[in-house]
Amino acid sequence: METVTRMRLVGGNLALDFVNTRVGPPGAAPDDDVLTGYPELIAWGVYASDLTDADATALRRRARDDAAGADATFLRALGTRDYLDGIFQSLAARRRPESTALDRLRDDEADALAHARLDQGSGFAWTWRDDHSLARPLRPVVHAAVGLLTTAAMERIKRCEACSFVFYDESKNRSRRWCSMEDCGTAEKMRRYIAARRSRLARKRPGDPTPGPPSDAPPGSSAAPAGAT
Ligand SMILES: [Zn+2]
């Protein structure tokens, strides 16, 4: 179950992190998905701090008693993720989301709020403390999506330049480009470095005298003869 922690929580919003439970190269089908069943949906909820351990225990018990209901809720969760993915990937690409997806989100938000209560802490907030239905893990996700859409600056919703993750860019100058620097940032920089080096080599090749030994010369000065065919 700890497999859900393979996906880092870097979206900056619960709904974006939910979309990021699957990942792949940009513009291609996802090749990794941590949501493989209802138990994983619960485990992800705990990991993303959307569920307490007590919630998780109650939900697991409920899922055991109602396996068909748990399966149906899991399918519903995948459908929710699909339309949220459509909405946020569209916004990240500066396109208008499909109205059918927005209608589904509205309906799910209405359903979520019908199961919520207004709790007073330092201010008032919707909580799902008393909601023990199988759809409980999805409520805050849907609500977070609506919260983001109704309050956020749309141009801050972005997609990683090196993978399919979506995130909310809270950097001061809106310059964030990667889901995380440790992973995609570094990998992407390496890829660009190699591509730039290759194109320097390609430019250098015609009529270029054979360069000397590589030593510590800058990239691009050593390999000209190699790629001749
Ligand atoms: Zn990434």
Residues, the chain, total?
A: 229
Evaluate whether 21 touches 34 at the Cβ level (below 8 Å): yes
Range of the domain at 8: 2-179
Same domain? For 67 and 141 the reply is: yes
Give the model confidence (pLDDT) of 190-206 as tens digits. Answer: 777 788 888 888 877 66
At residue 203, the pLDDT reads 79
Cα–Cα–Cα angle for 164, 52, 35, rounded to 5 degrees? 30
In the predicted structure, residue 85 carries a pLDDT above the cut 90: yes
Distance from the alpha carbon of residue 127 to the mean position of ligand 1, in angstroms: 31
pLDDT value for 107: 98
Q: What's the pLDDT at 209?
A: 60
Give the number of domains in the chain.
Answer: 2
Read off the CATH number of the domain in which 87 is found. Answer: 1.10.3300.10
Mean pLDDT value of segment 36-62:
95
216 phi and psi, to 5 degrees?
Answer: -110, 30
Q: How far is the CA of 48 from the centre of ligand 1 (A)?
A: 18
Same domain flag for 60 and 163: yes
- Residues 50-72 have a mean pLDDT of 96
Per-residue confidence band for 37, with pLDDT thresholds at 50, 70 and 90: very high
Report the C-alpha gap between 218 and 158 in whole angstroms. 34
Q: How far apart are CA 112 and CA 136, in angstroms?
A: 8
Asked whether the beta carbons of 45 and 137 are under 8 A apart, the reply is yes
Per-residue pLDDT at 183 exceeds 90: no
Q: What's the gap in Å between 183 CA and the centre of ligand 1?
A: 7
* Nearest residue to 69 via CA among 25, 119, 184, 61: 61
What number of H helices and E strands is found in the chain? 7, 6
- The CA dihedral of 29, 30, 35, 36, to the nearest 10 degrees, is 70
Contact call for residues 23 and 166 (beta carbons, < 8 A) = no
Q: What is the mean pLDDT of residues 44-63?
A: 95
Cα(198)–Cα(192) distance, rounded to whole angstroms?
Answer: 10
Examine the domain organization and report whether 166 and 214 are in the same domain: no
Q: How far is the CA of 163 from the centre of ligand 1 (A)?
A: 4
For residues 168 and 192, membership in a common domain is answered with no
CA 30 to chain centroid: 11
Gap from CA of 162 to ligand 1 centroid (Å): 5
Question: Is the full-model pTM beyond 0.85?
Answer: no
Rounded to 5 degrees, what angle do the CA atoms 130, 11, 85 make?
Answer: 80
Q: Give the pLDDT confidence score for residue 100 in this predicted structure.
A: 98
**pLDDT for 2 beyond 90:** no
Tokens found for residue 55: 């919630």
- For residue 170, pLDDT over 50 is answered with yes
Rounded to the nearest whole angstrom, what is the distance from the C-alpha of residue 207 to the centroid of ligand 1? 40
Q: Are strands 124-127 and 117-120 parallel, antiparallel or unpaired?
A: antiparallel
- pLDDT band of 119, cuts 50, 70, 90: very high
Greater model confidence, 220 or 134: 134
**CA 116/CA 136 separation, integer angstroms:** 10
Query: What's residue 211's pLDDT?
Result: 54
pLDDT of 229 over the 80 cut: no
**So what's the pLDDT on residue 223?**
43
Q: Are residues 34 and 127 in the same domain?
A: yes
pLDDT of residue 22: 93
pLDDT at 225: 44
- Specify the higher pLDDT residue, 139 or 216: 139
Burial 165-188 (b: 16+ CB within 10 A, else e): bbbbbeeeeeebbbbbeebbbeeb
Same domain, 172 and 227: no
Say if residue 71 is in the same domain as residue 173. Answer: yes
Model pLDDT, residue 182: 81
* Dist. CA 86 → ligand 1 center (Å): 17
Averaged confidence pLDDT in the chain: 87
